[in-house]
Every structure is written in structure tokens, then in C-alpha cells.
A and B are shown apart, each in its own frame.
Chain A
Amino acid sequence: MALARRGGIGRYYDVNGWLFVAPALGLIALFMVYPIVWSLWMSFQSGRGMMMKFAGFSNIVRLWNDPVFIKALTNTMTYFVVQVPIMILLALILASLLNNPRLVGRAFFRTAIFLPCVTSLVAYSVLFKGMFAFGGIVNSTLQAIGIIASPIPWQTHPFWAKALVIIAITWRWTGYNMIFYLAALQNIDRSIYEVARIDGVPAWARFTHITIPLLKPVILFTTVISTIGTLQLFDEVYNLTEGKGGPSNATLTLSLYIYNLTFRFMPNFGYAATVSYVIVVLVALLAFLQFFLARERDR
């Protein structure tokens, strides 16, 4: 009798619980699960615009024979391999410098370095485009102080165009990562540093042997977030190159290619969906790899 009543109450609570989460679940199903499943189904179709037909694995075969896709993938990986380490390292160094309580104007520097993060992606890209124009302020300044003899073709040379994108996203996102490290640094017990100082450990060793290991979970977090962000890189390249990923596709990213396949080229939604699943798979693989490398080893 008692058992049966408990069962009844259990069901009663279950029903109420499910009723409470049902609206959220319904919305998630409608706006998250359904589009994801549908895009997976789309990636097996191909055709012009609305004239889509089932095409099996032909989109995946097409990936291998598509020089533009290979180029976009190479570019995206280049950004990832070059930019993420530079940015993470820079953010770490800045964070530990700005964590020094004896630094004058600490709040000002923190704000200044974080400020790029609150600017609009489009606005700063357009600004960078103007500053790094052939006759723009960056070239004329560098020339005036004698670092370069002739203007750098920031936007028309494949190498410099890539460099410009890397400079831009580093400027935009370093402060964002720095904030995470600053927050984490507050949680490191100062006595650990004190002990190290008493034992005569030099500053750089305190950084590499105390700060970095203790920040490891946060570093892992920012690395994963940065990886995802870099693989989805779109706004900066779109605005710097008028959506073309030029010169010579040198700045084309996977996201921009998906956009072009859908909105600029003869629309092939199926193939675009396939390319977007490449990003999904890459993010999953890289995140797994990073978790694996940063795992706590049993000693």
C-alpha cells in the first residue's frame, strides 16, 4: 500500500517535472535538433537551388576533388595553428603582468586590452580595412618611422592578407582570453609564490612552473573556445575582402566558403551542408585531442 502510494507520488512528480521542462525541450527540439538532423539529411542531397536530389555520398567525394575546399581548409588550419598559440601566450603574459599589484594604472590597462572585445566584429573589420589600406595609416606610419621602405600590400598579397587577418583577430580576442586568466589568477594562493620566492625561484620559472600548471583548466577552456571560434572564422574575412576571401582565396575560410556556396554561387545547399559538417567533425576531433593532451595523469 505504502509502496503503491510512493509509486503514485513518484509518477506525480515525474509528470510535473516533465511538464516544466516540456516547453524548453519542445523549443530545443524544434530549433536545435530538427535543423541539425535536417542539415545532415541535406548533406546527402545535391542540385541547383530548390532542385535537390538525393545524391548519396557524392558530396563527400566532391570534397576531395574540390581545390577551393582544400584551400579553405588549409587556410583555416593555418589560422588555427598560427593564431591560437600566439593569442593564448600573449593573453597569459598580459594577464600575469596585469596581475602584479604594484603596477601603476592596472585598471586602465586591463580595460584598454579588454575593450576590443566589446566592439562589433563588422565595425572593427571595416576599421582595419581602412587602416591597412595600401595608402592607409599603418603603412604611412611604418614608412615615416623608417621600418619599411615601400608600402606593404596588406590586402592584395596572399601572405600579407593572411597576416592581416591574424593581426586583426589577435587584437580582437586577446583581451577576451586575458580576462579568464586574470580571474583564475585571483584564485591562486599568494603563499605559493611567496614560498617560491623564498626558495629563490626566478620569476620566469615561477611563471612556467606555478602559474601555467595552476591555470591549466582555464587554458584548456580558452584553447577549446578559441579553436571553435577560429574554425568558424567568418566576419573578419568577409568584411576585409568583400566576401571573396581574396587575394587568390588566400584568406578564404570554411565558413566563408559555406556562405559563398549558399548565397554567392549557384546555390547548392546540400554541398554547403556537407562542408559545415566538416567543421563539426574538426571541432569535435580537436577538442577531444586537447582534452586528451591536458588530462590529469596518474602518478
Chain B
Amino acid sequence: MDIFARAHLPRIAALALASASFLAVTAAEAKEITIWCWDPNFNVAIMKEAGARYTKTHPDVTFNVVDFAKTDVEQKLQTGLASGTADALPDIVLIEDYGAQKYLQSFPGAFAALSGTVDYSGFAPYKVEVMTVDGQIYGMPFDSGVTGLYYRKDYLEQAGFKPEDMQNLTWDRFIEIGSQVEAKTGKKMMGLDPNDGGLVRIIMQSAGQWYFDKEGKPNITGNPALKAAVETMGKIMSANIYKPANGWSDWVGTFTSGDVATVVTGVWITGTVKAQPDQAGKWGVAPIPALSIEGATHASNLGGSSWYVLESSAEKAEAIDFLNEIYGKDIDFYQKILQERGAVGSLLAARGGAAYEAADPFFGGEKVWQNFSDWLVKVPSVNYGVFTNEADLAVTAQLPALTQGMPVDDALKAIESEISGHIQ
């Protein structure tokens, strides 16, 4: 149709670059560290707090924390790295753990190795593993995505379930409870975006498996955890205990509006849950349901991200020192971001702090942070590989067919053939 308005892709890329270099130009003055991240209530606010702490002791360094949508950060970073012009890039960028290996392997030399500076023995090992390439460690581990089952105590009580009944569930029991909740309260059990593979990843990792094996080869048709996860998704969808959502904000709306009884996701959602003061005291947190297969646990991970310094950054030395000073050593900082933002950091020493011991009145006085940090050490370690995005799309592509009665093994075969096509 309009060949002029439908800009060709290179032109979009050029535009993105132009706007990015505009930002970089302002960053080049004095010692300002530019940082890209994506969640204004979470990592943006936390980075601003970290910057304020560092500026107190180093008044010559200031911070410019730029807030984008997550996909925009990723795609802008990828464009900048591909173009090879350093001007377009920030000094520090936040990268989700699933994508870390992709960037580190595709753009060798683009990120600064911090192995010599940072003492990595103090961090959760699985976080360090995702940022290691050929023995070099890049990046500063940030938050963990340890998962929990957030549930509305009031709705479940109406349906006849007590908090004890929500502990250590199986997924089958979870679906049963969901049907009863809907029958008694008219509320759906959970919000679900059929285009988001998050729940499949949570369930799969809880049983210690991933789309790829330790060598990075596809692990699909012979993967009992993925099979059970996909089966569980099929059961949830055919039991119709979910409210469909389209996109992230729509999904968040399912529970902030009080339309659903539970949320299964990473601990970083706590801030969003607590952002509804009228729901105070109505929420509880339990371990996520487990599969009924060998190696199944009640602990998993969703998302979580880390900070990376760009090798080309003019303020590289300051940026590395800043990350090491605050994220590598400041225990008090971790207490503050936990209390204010619900950020469970991956610096193990921080878990001894007072904030982790405190009871949270929003959750009816439960010691939720203690629970999350107990579950954190139980999260099975897996290799995210470099093709998680591709695998995720391949899985969600098969979900609708599954609810229409497609056998799970056929779905797995289709997923495997799609993923194999991407791995070249």
C-alpha cells in the first residue's frame, strides 16, 4: 500500500540509531554514565538508587538512567552492536539472563570482561554461569527470578481452601482447585497469555530441564519435563480456568483488577502486586505447584537479569567500579531494594540482612522474603543456551492446536522441527 510510509527495515534501523546517538552525545559530556533498563517500578528505580549512593562518594560521576520497554532495549542494543558504531550504545545495559549468551557469543568483544575486578564467588552460581564465555566472566549479576504462587486468600477461602491447602500442590491439584474456585466465586484461577511461553519455562525448569541440554543441543522430544509442562498447559486451557490476556499489561491487569485468584511468576512481580493498596492483607505466597515426574521440585525461575558494561564505553572504568562498589559489596543497598522494590538480589551475603527476616504486612505478616530466599537455593540450574527466544515462539505456536486435541508428542515433534530450523 503506501510504499513511502511502510519504511524499509534498514530505514527503521537508521532511525533507531540516529535517536540513540543523540542520547550518546549528551552522555559524552563530563563523567556521566548512561544506563539502559526497562521497568520504572523495578530496575530503573533500583539503578537510580544505586547511582545516588555512588555519587555520594564519587561526586564527579553522575548517572543517566534511560527507561525503555524491554523489547526496545534489546532490539536497540542488537541494532547498535550490529552497526558497529559505539556512539549509539550506553555505558551499562541490562540484559535478561535468557538472552545473555546470545549477545556475548554473537558480538565478541562488545562487552567488558569483569573477571579480574569482581569477586564472583559471592554470587549465586547459576547467575555467574549465564555470563561466562570461554572462561571469561562478563557482567554484574543482578536480580533473581525465583518463582512463587501468589494467591488471593479471600477468594480461596470462599471456595473452601485455607492457606495450608495451597502449600506444595501438584499441578493437577492446582487445576482442581481452580475449577472449584470458579464454581464458588465466579473468578478464574489465573491470567494466561497464550502467546507467552513463561509458564512453560517455569514448569520445565522446576523439573531441572530446558529447551536445550548442557551442550546447547535441542532437548525437546526426549524431554519429560517439557512434555509434562506442555501437557499441563493443555489441561489448564481445556479446563478453562484461565482468563485470556493479550500482552504483558493485559496480563498484569488480570490480577491487579482482582479478576483472578492466583499468579504464578517471578518474585519481581511483588512490587506490582503490592501496588494495589486496597488488596493489602488479601494475598499469600506459596511455593509453585510441582509436576508429578522424577526430579520435580517446587522451585523455579522466570527471567532475572544482569548488568553489562560495554567495552566501547568512554566511562568503562567508572562504570565497572560503580557496579563493583554497589552491586558487588553494598549489603545495605540490597536490603533497601528488597524492602522497597521486592528485588531478590543474587549476592548471597545480602541474604543475611535484616530485611530478609522481616514479616510483610501486605501478605498478612508472612515472612515472604525468607521463603523466596529459601526457594532461591533450590532452583534447578539449567543451560539457557542462545536460542530461548526462538524456542519460546515455537512452543507458543503449538498451544492452540494442543487444546483442540493434538497429541502432545506430535506437538513436541513440531516444536523440535521448528527449533532445528533456527539452529544453523
Residues in A whose Cβ lies below 8 Å from that of B105: 48-49, 51
- Distance of A233 Cα from B244 Cα, bound (Å): 26
Please choose the segment from A93-101, A191-199, A204-212, A247-255 that sits at the chain B interface, where 4 or more of its residues have CB less than 8 A away.
Answer: A247-255
Q: Could you say which of A176, A247, A267, A268 contacts B194, with CB atoms under 8 Å apart? A: A247
At the interface, yes or no: A156 with Cβ under 8 Å from chain B? yes
A263 adjacent to B418 (CB under 8 Å): no
Q: Is B398 an interface residue (CB 8 A)?
A: yes
Chain B 90-123 interface residues, beta-carbon cutoff 8 Å to A: 102-103, 105-108
Q: Is the CB of A46 within 8 A of B424?
A: yes
The yes or no answer to A157 lying at the interface (CB within 8 A) is yes
Is the Cβ of B246 less than 8 Å from the Cβ of A248? no
Q: How far is the CB of A21 from chain B (nearest CB, A)?
A: 23
Given known A67-B417, A247-B396, A263-B78, contact A51–B108 (CB-CB < 8 A): yes
A134 touches B244 (CB 8 A): yes
Q: Please indicate the chain A residues that have their CB under 8 angstroms from the CB of B9 in the complex.
A: 234, 255, 258-259, 262, 276
Contact of A65 among B1, B75, B421 (CB under 8 A): B421
Contacts of A176 in B (CB 8 A): 1-2
Give bound CA distance, A93 to B248, whole Å. Answer: 41
Interface residue range, chain A:
35 or more
Residue of B nearest to A226 (CB): B1
> Which residues on B sit within 8 Å (CB–CB) of A244?
195, 393, 396
A48, A49, A157, A259: most-surrounded residue (chain B CB, <10 A): A49
Q: How far is the CB of B9 from chain A (nearest CB, A)?
A: 6
Determine whether the beta carbon of B195 is less than 8 Å from that of A241.
yes
B396-424 vs A: 1/0 string, CB under 8 Å? 11111100000000000010011001101
Task: List chain A residues, Cβ under 8 A from B400.
Answer: 156-158, 247-248
Instruction: Check A48 against B1 for contact (C-beta < 8 Å).
Output: no
> Is B389 in contact with A35, judged by CB distance below 8 angstroms?
no
- Give CA–CA (A173, B82) in the complex, Å: 34
Q: Is the CB of B6 within 8 A of A156?
A: no
Given contact pairs A66-B421, A233-B6, A241-B195, enumerate 10 new A-B contacts (beta carbons under 8 Å): A49-B105, A156-B194, A156-B246, A230-B1, A232-B8, A246-B397, A255-B9, A263-B75, A264-B75, A269-B82
Which residues of A come within 8 Å of B, CB atoms? 35, 46, 48-51, 58, 62, 65-69, 117, 121, 129, 133-134, 153, 155-158, 169, 172-173, 176, 225-226, 228-230, 232-235, 241-244, 246-249, 255, 258-260, 262-269, 271, 276
B residues with a Cβ closer than 8 A to A are: 1-3, 5-6, 8-10, 71, 74-75, 78-79, 81-82, 84, 102-103, 105-108, 194-195, 244, 246-248, 250, 386-387, 389-390, 393-394, 396-401, 414, 417-418, 421-422, 424
* 6 CB-based A-B contacts, threshold 8 Å: A232-B6, A234-B6, A235-B6, A242-B195, A247-B397, A266-B387
